[in-house]
Amino acid sequence: MSAPLVVELFTEELPPKALKRLGQAFADAVVAGLAARDFVEPDAAVTPYASPRRLAVAIAAVRAVAPDKPFREKLLPVSVAFDAAGKPTAALTGKLKAKGLAHVDPATLARGSDGKAEALFHEGIAKGGPLADALQAVLADAIGALPIPKVMSYAGAGGYWNDEKFVRPAHRLVALHGADVVPVTALGLAAGRVTMGHRFLSRGELTLANAAAYAPTLEAEGKVIPSFAARRAAIVAKLEAAAGADTPVMPEALLDEVASLVEWPVVYAGEFDPAFLAVPQECLILTMQLNQKYFALTDAAGKLGNRFLVVSNLETRDPKAIVGGNERVLRARLADARFFFDQDRKASLESRLPKLDAVVYHNQLGTLGARVARLAALAKAIAPFVGADPAAAERAARLAKADLVTDMVGEFPELQGTMGRYYALHDGEPAVIADAIAEHYAPRFAGDALPAGPVAQAVALADKLEALAGLFSIGQVPTGDKDPFALRRAALGVLRILIEKRVPVTLGPLLDAAFAPFGPGKNAGADLSQFITDRLKGYLKDQGYTTNEVAAVVDAGPGELWLVPSQLAAIRAFEKLPEAPALAAANKRIKNILAKTGITVTYGNVPAVPVDPSLLAPGAETELSRQFASVRSEVDAKCASGDWQGALLALAATRPAVDRFFDDVMVMADDPAVRQNRLNLLANVAGTMNRVADISKLAQ
């Protein structure tokens, strides 16, 4: 029979930044292990639990005994199992003995093909085992596979030395199947039905009547919301209620961490001196979030107020002591932030530049000061491509890293760029320079906003391209999932700026300028170009385009990247035409024919090769030449105006001529002049077909 199952490991306080992942991993491993052993009923609901002092999982329907299963085990080939007289060989006798089947009559064993020859099989029905045996093995596997950031050694129950290892000392194990305790052990603990509630609000030990009572008992009697997701949702609801007309600033990471610190969340509101609001609000918000795990409040315009919210693990009728204590702690933190801000403004960003010469950027690439010099030159070179003032781009790039040696950024590295903007404005720098300093790191993550203005875009491109070129030039290329310098993110940032800001430039000149201070090194330029192309393919696939569609545009060697989305849209429209499959297949055939003769098909606006009309055979060959001469003009005109879809649609009318040509004409004629003329004709046909993209990729 089936019944609910709950398994819980009750521990000391688990590391908050790892709790969410640990809880999900524990639940997933237990469910997967039991499902693989056929104990979990189909579509049984699964609820993972994770609180500061427990990892648990509940499965709505679990079998007490696994169902019996037929089995078929290969023993030996028949030719090996029996001799010429049909009697069992020593090999078969030994095999049966080793398998514990010495009592089995060889004549009763099944015969069948193993795919190569006739073989002997042992068949039967395997009795399903009990849940306890399976859960014992599953628990051991699940605990061993947990993504534990750092293992602790501790004395197990009744032990005197550090004989157990886990993320934190475990004190209780609960395993209930329905109302019955499943007799398993883990981490030196025997399973039972007793758990613990909140450290201060609970009445003590909680005896669980059955598995279904797990969460209700913890919430009602233990003052614990065991579900991480439910606890997090409760925190969000309480924060929004306490905020009133204001809006709580709730970063996902902070919500996850706070949900990992409390079992019974209660939200209290506090205040701080409004005088602190003279400090940039980014500093104050970060101080509250990182140091104290508080939630700042902003008004409808996004302006920070002097109230904050704290999520407490203690519920009390009179929270004055809790609120007052948090206000005193925050006051000291905000005073530090104000001190850093005041001290930093005593020195200009310009005056801090010499300090960058003492900061090592990379032991093979020099100091941060040397990097800033490269950034300034590169930003100046890139500026014309994005429509920026070269002098402004150079100035912004020169000051972009100066805030790294300020006290505020030293305390809060997350504010690099942000503080540079404030300090640049304080120094009297133009707003366009200050904005570029703040935005040159963008985009910092997937979905992040891009630099808004041309100067900021020039500096942002310079920052990313310099890092890519410099590190590729010394062989620091990402491998597998290792990318310590975030070069994949930098490459994607370059692509997003060029495409989404519609920058009319090809990648080649940008890479040449980026490599100029380093020298490309052995294959570094080609490797980086391919690296960025690979990121481009991933970026486009994330936009919903298929592998073949992306290959048609990208493998052909895209020109200006901002055109790629419209070219892909045209390819998608072309694919819907009834003529598209035949034209794609014909294009592929043409490419193969030309490749065998050493002719490479190029893409884009390439000159036509000469075709001698006097050598064209009347009928299909002459018609193909005439039609593509006309279509080429139309395709070129539409491409010149950016009408990629119209250019591809114009090809649809050529299908009959293309089909007839291949039906009636032998390309590889005996006469060398005729053969070369036909190859030239096909080269022109392919050039026109592939003006927008390599449509042969659509035939793969």
Q: Which of 48-62, 138-152, 677-691 has the lowest mean pLDDT?
A: 677-691
Q: Is 253 exposed, middle or buried (0-12, 13-18, 19+ CB in 10 A)?
A: exposed
**Cα(420)–Cα(401) distance, rounded to whole angstroms?**
8
Query: Between 431-439 and 454-473, two packed helices, what is the crossing angle to 10 degrees?
Result: 40
Q: CA 36 → CA 24, 47, 135, 433, 461, distances in Å?
A: 18, 18, 11, 60, 50
Question: What tens digit of pLDDT does each residue of 423-447 get?
Answer: 999 999 999 999 999 999 999 988 8
Instruction: Decide if pLDDT at 608 tops 80.
Output: no
pLDDT at 603: 64
Mean pLDDT of the chain: 92
Q: What span, in angstroms and rounded, lies between the C-alpha atoms of 550 and 6?
A: 48
Burial string for 63-85 (b: 16+ CB within 10 Å, else e) reads bbebeeeeeeeebbebeebbeee
CATH H superfamily, domain 565-699:
Isoleucyl-tRNA Synthetase; Domain 1 (1.10.730.10)
Q: Confidence class of residue 157 from pLDDT cuts 50, 70 and 90?
A: confident
Q: How far apart are CA 375 and CA 439, in angstroms?
A: 15
Of all residues in the chain, the percent with pLDDT exceeding 70 is 99
- Any alpha helices (H) in 447-546, and if so which ranges? 454-473, 487-500, 507-515, 524-542
Rounded mean pLDDT, 670-674: 90
Q: Which residues pair with 482 in a beta bridge?
A: 479
- pLDDT confidence of 384, banded at 50, 70, 90? very high
Q: Read off the pLDDT band of 178 (50, 70, 90).
A: very high
Which of the two residues, 451 and 128, has the higher pLDDT score?
451
Q: What angle do CA 663, 667, 668 make, to 5 degrees?
A: 135
Q: CB under 8 Å, gap of 24 or more: what pairs does 139-143 form? A: 139/7, 139/30, 139/184, 139/186, 140/186, 141/29, 141/33, 142/26, 142/29, 142/30, 142/33, 143/9, 143/26, 143/186, 143/187
Closest by CA position to 651, among listed 561, 570, 554: 570
Q: Domain-by-domain residue ranges, the chain?
A: 2-66+130-220, 69-126, 228-344, 349-544, 565-699
Going by C-alpha positions, the residue among 196, 214, 205, 217 that lies closest to residue 4 is 214
Is 482 strand, coil or helix? strand
* Tokens (6 digits) for 8: 């819980």
Radius of gyration of the chain (CA): 35
Q: What is the pLDDT of residues 180-195, one digit of tens each?
A: 999 999 999 999 999 9
* pLDDT of amino acid 123: 87
DSSP string, 349-390: HHHHHHHHTTSEEETTTEEHHHHHHHHHHHHHHHHHHHT--H
Rounded to whole angstroms, the Cα distance separating 271 from 293 reads: 15
Number of Cβ atoms within 10 Å of the Cβ of 539? 18
604 pLDDT band, cuts 50/70/90, is low
Does pLDDT of 590 surpass 70? Answer: yes
CA distance 561 to 542: 16
Name the CATH code of domain 349-544 (choices 3.40.50, 1.10.3210, 3.10.350, 1.10.3470).
1.10.3210
Predicted pLDDT of residue 225: 98
Q: Residue 605: is its pLDDT beyond 80?
A: no
pLDDT digits (tens, 9 = 90+) for 119-148: 989 988 888 899 999 999 999 999 999 999
**Average pLDDT estimate for 77-92:** 90
- DSSP label at residue 65: B
How far, rounded to the nearest angstrom, does the alpha carbon of residue 262 sit from its chain's CA centroid?
A: 29
61 three-state secondary structure: strand
Do 1 and 64 form a contact (C-beta atoms < 8 A)?
A: yes
The predicted structure's pLDDT at residue 521: 64
Q: What's the Cα-to-Cα distance from 148 to each of 25, 135, 184, 232, 259, rounded to whole Å? A: 10, 21, 22, 22, 19
Q: Which two tokens stand for residue 356?
A: 């960058």
Reported confidence tier of residue 597, pLDDT bands at 50, 70, 90: confident
Helix (H, G, I), strand (E, B) or coil at 203: coil
Measured CA to CA, the distance from residue 630 to residue 6 in angstroms comes to 75
If phi > 0 it is left, if psi is from -120 to 50 it is alpha, else beta; for residue 302 that is left
Q: What is the pLDDT of residues 629-664, one digit of tens each?
A: 888 888 888 888 889 889 888 888 888 888 898 888
Angle at Cα 294 formed by Cα 289 and Cα 296, nearest 5°? 85
pLDDT in tens, 641-650: 889 889 888 8
Structure confidence by residue, pLDDT tens digits, 278-306: 999 999 999 999 989 999 999 999 999 99
Binned at pLDDT 50, 70 and 90, residue 693 comes out as: confident
Q: What angle do CA 256, 257, 260 make, to 5 degrees?
A: 90
pLDDT of residue 382: 97
CA 308 centroid distance within chain: 33
DSSP collapsed to 3 states, 301-358: CCCEEEEEEEEECCCCCCCHHHHHHHHHHHHHHHHHHHHHHHHHCCCCHHHHHHHHCC
pLDDT at 201 (0 to 100): 94
Which of the 8 DSSP states describes residue 401? T
- Is 70 exceeded by the pLDDT of residue 196? yes
Q: What is the mean pLDDT of residues 666-678?
A: 89
**Mean pLDDT throughout 677-685?**
88
Helix (H, G, I), strand (E, B) or coil at 240: helix
Q: Which helix (H) or strand (E) holds 186?
A: strand 185-186
Give the closest residue to 690 by CA, choosing from 651, 646, 638, 643: 651
Q: Which string of b and e fits 334-357 if b means at least 16 CB within 10 Å?
A: beebbebbeebeeebbeebbeebe
User: What per-residue confidence (pLDDT) applies to 627?
Assistant: 87
Which has more confidence, 431 or 624? 431
